[in-house]
């Protein structure tokens, strides 16, 4: 939740629902859609709560400095 959906596209995330099923290929497409729907519903609730409590600057991505 804290990372929103940014990490889902990263190479090191192969299964965003590993807490439900270790092998994502075993999750049926309709079940996967159901999980994603509920994730987004709860993500929007979390974001609304977060935005009431925290200034937006607090959760901007931090740029790496070499």
Rounded Cα–Cα distance for residues 58 and 64 (Å): 16
Q: Averaging pLDDT over each range in 2-11, 15-24, 26-35, 48-57, which range is the top one? A: 26-35
Q: What is the mean pLDDT of the chain?
A: 81
- The closest of 44, 64, 33, 62 to 4, measured between CA atoms, is 44
What does the pLDDT average to over 12-19? 77
CB 20 within 8 A of CB 27: yes
What does the pLDDT average to over 45-63? 82
pLDDT for residue 13 is more than 90: no
pLDDT for residue 44 is more than 70: yes
CB crowding 14-48: b at 16 or more within 10 Å, else e: eeeeeeeeeeeeebeeeeeeeeeeeeeeeeeeeee
Residue 38: CA atoms inside 13 Å, Cβ hemisphere, count?
A: 7
pLDDT for residue 1 is more than 70: no
């Amino acid at each position: 939740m804290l990372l929103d959906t940014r990490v889902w596209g990263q190479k090191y995330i192969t299964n965003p629902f590993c807490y439900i099923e270790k092998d994502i290929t075993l999750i049926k497409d309709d079940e996967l859609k159901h999980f994603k729907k509920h994730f987004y519903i709860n993500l929007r609730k979390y974001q609304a709560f977060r935005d009431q409590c925290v200034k937006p600057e607090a959760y901007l991505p931090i740029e790496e400095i070499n």
